[in-house]
Chains A and B, each alone.
Chain A
Amino acid sequence: MKTLQLFSCYLIWHYSTALGDIWGIWGNFLYFISHFFSFSDLLRTLFAPWRRLQESYSGQGFSLERVLTALVVNTMMRLVGMIIRLAVMIVGLLCLAALAAAGAAVYVIWLLAPLLVTFLLVTGAGLLVIG
């Protein structure tokens, strides 16, 4: 009796709450990837100088050399920052895509799980008998 009660509880859960749970956990992982790679921050600061490293344009009197050096160094720092940020964002996007695909696969497997188990049981028993 108890086993039957549990079985019905399980089946209802498998196709209701469990789907919500998987959705929730999938959402957590997607959130984690976007948080870990901080897409919005990286995008917002894409052209910001790397670690705020900058040369100053101002100084005593005007010096073309100083201005040019500062311009080159600062552009370099911004470029370095942009390249590293872009690289990280690309890796992050790939992870996100992989996770989205994995999540979809888990969903399909979960929905078909009772059939899969039945198939394995039938196949297994058949192979055992036939030999």
Chain B
Amino acid sequence: MNFTQLKQQALERHPELLLEEIISHRLRKKIKVTFLILAVLLLAGYLLLTTTSSNIGVVTDNRLLGMACLMIAGWLVFLALDAFYYSHYYAGALGDKNGTIISYELARVVVNTPEDDITLGLLRTDFGRHLGWRLGLPQAAEEFSSSRKKPLTAADFVPAREGMNLLDHLSELYRQDSEWSKWLTANEVKEEDLLGAARWQLRALKTARMNERWWSRTALRRLGSVGRDWSYGRAYELEKYAHFLDMVSGSGDGDFYHQKELEQLINILTREREPHAILVGPEGSGKTDVVYELAGRINADETEPGLRDKRVAILRTDILIPQMENKTALENELQLILQQSAWAGNLILVLPDLPEAAASAAYLGCDLPALLSNYLPSSRFSVIAFSDPDGFHNNLENNREITNHLEKIQVSEGGKRGIMNLLENQALAWEKTHPVVISYPALVAVAEAAERYFTDSGLRDKAFDLLSEAVSAAENAGRTLITSEEVNSLVEAKTGIVTGRVSSKEREKLQNLEEIMHRRVVGQDEAIRAVSRAVRSARAGINVGNRPLGSFLFLGPTGVGKTETAKALAEVFFDDRDRIMRLDMSEFNSSSAMAQLLGSFEEGKPGVLANMVRDNPYGVLLLDEFEKAHSEVPDLFLQILDEGVFSDAGGHRVNARNIIFIATSNAQSNKIWEVVERGEDPNQHRDEMINALIDSGELKPELINRFDGVIMFHPLQEQQVRAIAEKKLQDLKQRVKNKGIELKINQALVDYVATKGRDEKFGARPINRVISEDIESRIAEEMISGQAKAGSEIEFTQEQLQAGD
């Protein structure tokens, strides 16, 4: 089959498009209304003339009636044409289950596509223009046509198969038109984005079309019924504190994002014995959505017969409990509510946040789980409780009264795919009330950012918040289109982490990472190279999402630049050298190390590590002298480096996925010295050093394997120490210059600082002390004595420097 045949097939299968070609929908509508108005006016005129028995010139009552007849005939013809159009149009929307008929959407596109360039033709159709906006490329047709060199003609194109749909067609075009696929790639649109955006648009079109069909069984059924609840009782007491979901409608989407959980819930609710469940999932994971979807499907009569006529009521325990004065009042009220609910016979009672409600009730001395469990053996009503995992573990899991009666359903976060579905629906809803168009790549960016950067609370809530902020930001800036770039810059502003497209300035920075880092760190070429490689891969988005941004083990003697490298990394990665946190791990060498790091539940003390990461979720965390920590600590870091998350003493999850961990150790420094003294490169002996570390029991092999890189730092050579001395002296020179005094840095000064500032044990660390104690103090003395004034110059000779010693 070729494209021309496909076009032929499109018209044969969808004759409504033939009608569209001859006379458009809009014109038909205008003509139809005109016929109707004229028919009514003419009939009115006829009636007027016949009652008054008068004629206006040649216009007799019979002629008016004749014209009215013609108008009515015209109106009927157009009415029938509309019926013809909609009959096919809705048949197309319902789709054909065997997939043998070309879809309506594809037929419409194909019929309107000229044969000289079918890709460009598609982009110029209504669907193609909308697709351009959805891809964040509103001028796609114009921009692509200006760079078009080799058009894909109908003769060159091979359609996928008979009865294909628009997604197949797009996929084929992407495959067969390499110029187009390259253009899309250059505009950062991948095939999955193209198909995702098209799928979203098609789904929206289909939903809109199905919603127009008010005469469908589903739509009519949603109007409800009378008399079905007359044989059930009313829970008057419950009505005071509950929110009934009688008017809620479901998503109307078979692809509900918590479909598995919903099916599990329906299975539990329809069984004979104890139809009660507890939904356990993090805040914002969509537990309420599950219940709303359930209510929507019950209201639309779209569930199992066992759930027919059921009413879902959310009991507002947060309103009920504070209103009660004492234990007796609360217990009486709760018993009344539960008794009436059981008596009514058609209620599904939802208890949002059971652990919280139980805690509030316990404050009044009431044991809510025990009270509830008296009614749970009954199957005359159902209970659905909600809990977050922490609350469930800490308060409910060991309570047999609850776990025996309420079946647990784990509500997962839904993942990126589930979130995309929700975001697509939400975006369409927001587009109706805000003057913006949200592109598909923007939604992908929102879903990815929510998953990666904001995992402290529920994925769904975070994604919605982010999208809502993007919409407000676009509105305030007067932009109509929200692209992935807008979302990424929003994420960047919130977190300090640069995401999304690599800007040219940043590209330059990434390409010259080694050079930039060398501005702070002298020597250590191998270490800088290894770290730079890791940073580039993280920035390109190829690192694993559910681990920390990076993790390194820096080995080497003291004072050779390990901390400076960490600082340089903070500066490059987060654009802020102060985004650095430090833990001296030698302080965590007692048996209470874990309690110090993670907090203590009994004492109610927060943990140092947990707090640090929570307060600064984005940055570099330096773990100095890692090998000196207590033997339990490395096990904690095994988990952190593996999963990027850990739990504090209270069981709360802490997200460490946006942290670069740098563990430093000067263990085996002697070995490094020995190697260097033999004139060899320590990196050549890397495995040997690591084995020695493992053999000495200082670090476990499984932990070493978890690091993205084990980096060896050399002891500093004399010329490197000199370079550091010079660099530090330049810093001093700048500080003195601010006072108007010029410090001359000569050979003697550099030699003095380099020689005195070099130490076998502490590397170049004493340089700072030498500069501050020997040089700065002399300058200060000269300034105080008046020898050095603003505008004067200071230069030290070798003799002066030696004399001071």
Contact = CB atoms under 8 A, between A and B. Distances in A.
A32 B214 CA distance: 12
A42 to B, nearest CB: 5
Contacts of A51: 230-234
A110 B403 CA distance: 63
Contacts of A3: 22
Interface in A14-42: 14, 17-18, 21, 25, 28-29, 31-32, 35-38, 41-42
Given A120-B72, A128-B67, A131-B62, A45 B216 contact: no
Contacts, number: 128
Nearest to B220: A32
A121 B70 contact: yes
Secondary structure class of chain A's binding surface, majority of residues: helix
B186 to A, nearest CB: 41
B217 A38 contact: no
Contacts of A50: 230
A10 B345 CA distance: 54
Contacts of A42: 227
B465 interface: no
Contacts of B88: 13
B337 to A, nearest CB: 16
A5 interface: yes
B234 A124 contact: no
B316 to A, nearest CB: 24
A21 B72 CA distance: 24
Interface stretch (A58-66, A67-75, A80-88): A80-88
Contacts of A116: 76
Contacts of B345: 52
Contact of B73 (A38, A84, A124): A124
B377 interface: no
Nearest to B62: A127
B70 A14 contact: no
A17 B65 CA distance: 34
Contacts of A52: 231-233, 343-345
Contacts of B230: 45, 48, 50-51, 81, 84-85
Given A32-B223, A130-B62, A13 B87 contact: yes
Contacts of B363: none
A108 interface: no
A14 B309 CA distance: 40
B22 to A, nearest CB: 6
Given A125-B70, A128-B63, A41 B76 contact: no
B694 interface: no
A77 B88 CA distance: 52
A113 interface: yes
Nearest to A87: B227
Contacts of A6: 15, 18-19, 22
A80 B227 CA distance: 13
Given A41-B231, A121-B73, A2 B21 contact: yes
A72 to B, nearest CB: 20
A45 B231 contact: yes
Contact of B217 (A2, A17, A31, A88): A31
Contact of B70 (A2, A9, A128): A128
Interface in B53-74: 58, 60, 62-63, 65-70, 72-73
A116 B68 CA distance: 14
B225 A36 contact: yes
A127 B84 contact: no
Contacts of B502: none
Q: Pick from B58, B67, B76, B234 the residue with the most CB of A within 10 Å.
A: B76
B63 A85 contact: no
Given A2-B22, A9-B18, A41-B231, A124 B66 contact: yes
18 contacts: A2-B21, A2-B22, A6-B19, A6-B22, A18-B87, A32-B220, A32-B221, A35-B220, A50-B230, A51-B234, A52-B344, A84-B227, A117-B76, A125-B70, A127-B62, A128-B63, A129-B66, A130-B62
Interface of B: 15, 18-19, 21-22, 58, 60, 62-63, 65-70, 72-73, 76-77, 80-81, 83-84, 87-88, 91, 215-217, 220-221, 223-228, 230-234, 301, 309, 343-345
Interface of A: 2-3, 5-6, 9-10, 13-14, 17-18, 21, 25, 28-29, 31-32, 35-38, 41-42, 45, 48, 50-53, 81, 84-85, 88, 113, 116-117, 120-121, 123-131
